[in-house]
Each structure stands twice: as structure tokens, then as C-alpha cells.
Amino acid sequence: MAFSMFLRTSACRSSAFNQQMMCFATQSMAKERTIASTLPIKNLVIPRANSTPILNSVRSFRTSPPRLSAGKANDHSKLWVVEKITSAALIPLVPLGLLIPNKLFDSALAILITAHSFWGLEAIVVDYVRASIFGPVIPKIAIGLVYLVSIATLGGLFYLISHDIGLANTFRQLWAIKSDGNKA
């Protein structure tokens, strides 16, 4: 409250104060900030060519060094795009697979459904089963269980597709079952 009141005073609204604040914000991070280097009038008038805005410096701030795998940094934005493409592909593929039941659509549905559920379960485990809370062993077991469940799901769906009536026909049969509410 007191700081906001200070900023509303006429001293803080002057052009010299604004120029000084811009000088602070655009100082190069390589130079050490000292009172002697920020007070001269030439810093208020002459913009520096090698200055970096403070916002760009904040954007590149990291608390730990990036982990490198084979010389390349992990790029999770590509995985995010693949996850969103998978989710978007499920929207037309589910009705199409139900309208035209065949092994191609069933296999594509099995792969996309399993991948979609794997990424969701993995995100839940990574977010909520942390080593800082549960110790170093339980998060590894949880991730292993996510892999095991995903592999079993994909294997079961492929078994259903190849040795039984298929995925779409199984859903059709499940929806065709009527409840026996009158007999009870």
C-alpha cells in the first residue's frame, strides 16, 4: 500500500524518474550495477546499444541447468503438439471407427486411445507422486505401473481386434445390451 502511494506522488511521475527507471530496466546484465554507473546524466539521455530489457532477462531465468541428452536439450513442446494432435485425431476417428468397423480403424483407435491414456496417467503420476513426498522408490514404481498398464491395455485391445469381433463391434454389443429392470 505504501509503495503504491509512493509511486503516485509527483516525484515518481516526472520524466527524469521515468528515464532513470528505464535505464535500470535496460541495463546490461553483464555489468555490475553500481550507483556511480547509474546516476550520471548521460545514462538518462543516451540509450545503450548493447542494453537488454529486463523482461528478456527474466524470460531466460532458470533455477537449474538444462539436462542434456546426447547433446540436445529436451524439447517438451514437440511432445505437447503430438499429444494435442492425438487428441484431435480421436474426435473424427471414434465415430468413423464405429460407423465403418474394420481392423485398420480399430488398430488406429487402440493405439491412439492407449497413447492418450498413457500420457494422461503419466502426467498424473509425475505431478502427484513426487520423490520429495514419497521417497525415491515409489515414484519409479508408479511410473513402472503406468507403463505396465499401458502395455497391457494395448495388448488386450490388439488381442480383441485380432482374435475376437473387434473394437467397434464390441462397443456396439455393449450398447445393445438392454437392462432387465422389469424382471427384478
Binding-site annotation: residue ranges: 116, 128
Of 107, 155, 149, whose CA–CA distance to 124 is shortest?
149
Residues placed in the known binding site for heme b: 116
Determine the Cα–Cα distance for residues 107 and 158; give it in Å rounded to an integer.
7
**33 and 39 in contact (C-beta within 8 Å)?**
no
Reported residue count of the chain is 184
Residue showing cell 503430438: 82
Dig out the grid coordinates for 28 from the structure. 546490461
**Burial of 154 per CB tally in 10 Å (0-12, 13-18, 19+):** middle
Residues belonging to the binding site for a ubiquinone are 128
